[in-house]
Amino acid sequence: MLKAKVVNGVATVNYTIPLGLSGVTDGKTFNVKNHTILAGYYNKNYQAEVRNTSTFQVERSNITITISDAVVYKSNHILSLTATIKDYLGNKVLGPNKCIVKVNGATIKNGTNPIYYYSSNGVLTLNDITIPSYDDYKTIEIVTQDRLSYKSQRNTTSAIKVVE
């Protein structure tokens, strides 16, 4: 509950929407969620309470992925990297993000199924990940899916340190 002083018949409250507040109701339908605000006026000099409600919606935010410290150990085909996932304000996203990793355009898989990696609060750290063998490692791409609060995104880097 927030309290506001009434000045000349107007009460003003500045409210910051928490990071990661969901913009949709669920991950299957992606229906927009209405958030409700209840405002009430209470004064001991008046018997009746005055209440009003209003709704607002939160759009899922765009995100960016920054890949850094990408290292491929060519002798045993092992990848290590760090990626940072931030919202449009530059804040690290909250919660887990489900990601796939592609090397030279090919998704890292376990047989025929893609392997999913999970970031934690905006940081994806991969160490000692077995990747396909290539003569030349040109690109690494990270792809995330839509979440309740964030839109999907992908980013590719060619800044790869290859260690023989």
Where do the domains of the chain lie? 6-56, 63-163
Residuewise pLDDT in 10s, the chain (164 residues): 888 888 998 888 888 888 777 777 776 777 788 888 888 888 888 777 788 898 888 888 899 999 999 999 999 999 999 999 999 889 999 888 999 999 999 999 999 999 999 999 999 999 999 999 999 999 999 999 888 788 899 999 999 999 98
The fold of 63-163 is Immunoglobulin-like (2.60.40)
pTM over 0.85: no
Report how far apart the first and last C-alpha atoms of the chain are (Å, whole number). 60
Q: What is the residue-wise DSSP string for 28-43?
A: TT-PBPPEEEEEEE--
